[in-house]
Structure 1
Amino acid sequence: MRHEFSAVIERDGKWFVGWCPEIPGANGQGLTLEECRQNLAEAIQLILEDRREDALRGAPADAIHEVLQLA
């Protein structure tokens, strides 16, 4: 699994509304299914970037900071 997240998408009138169960607060919407997917992907990316920045604020200046890649 690499950079994979679940997307739950429902129809609400003329809108598609989606959320990601693994990332609380990640929601998206769109008039088309693709628009909803793209909006949700952007929300996931923004939340993860914000959480990383927030978490690193408390790291000591001399700490080793690496990025791990999961296969």
Structure 2
Amino acid sequence: MARQVFTAYIEWDPETELYVGFVPGIPGAHTQAATLDELRKNLQEVLELCLEERKERGEISEFPQFIGLQQIEVAV
């Protein structure tokens, strides 16, 4: 079985006091957790489920590639 590495975007939500993570470009690949270790485990599980669903529908193709992040400044 081939292995693929994905990049997850992680934020801290002060309102829920949880870490929130998602994998850009993979619909449904998002979750939350109280710790970063738990978030990593949850993200791995949900990503595997999302990819399995795509495979069953015949939608496996090239995946998005991480390029970088940009910070955009706006007045608030």
Same fold (TM over 0.5): yes
Q: 1:47, CA displacement in angstroms?
A: 0.6
1:51 aligned to 51, 54, 71, which one?
A: 54
Task: Give me the CA root mean square deviation.
Answer: 1.6
Q: Residue 68 of structure 2 corresponds to which residue in structure 1? A: none
- Quick check: 2:19–2:39 contact (8 Å CA) kept in 1? yes
Q: 1:8, CA displacement in angstroms?
A: 0.5
How far apart in 2 are the matches of 1:25 and 1:50?
10
Q: 1:24, CA displacement in angstroms?
A: 2.1
Instruction: Among all aligned residue pairs of Structure 1 and Structure 2, give the percentage whose two residues are the same amino acid.
Output: 47
Partner of 1:22, secondary structure, is coil
Partner of 1:42, secondary structure, is helix
Structure with larger Rg: 1
Q: Residue 12 of structure 1 corresponds to which residue in structure 2? A: 13
In the TM superposition, 1:29-68 aligns within 5 A as 29-55=32-58
Q: 1:55, CA displacement in angstroms?
A: 1.5
TM-score (norm 2): 0.65
Structure 2 unaligned regions, length at least 5: 60-76
Q: 1:19, CA displacement in angstroms?
A: 0.3
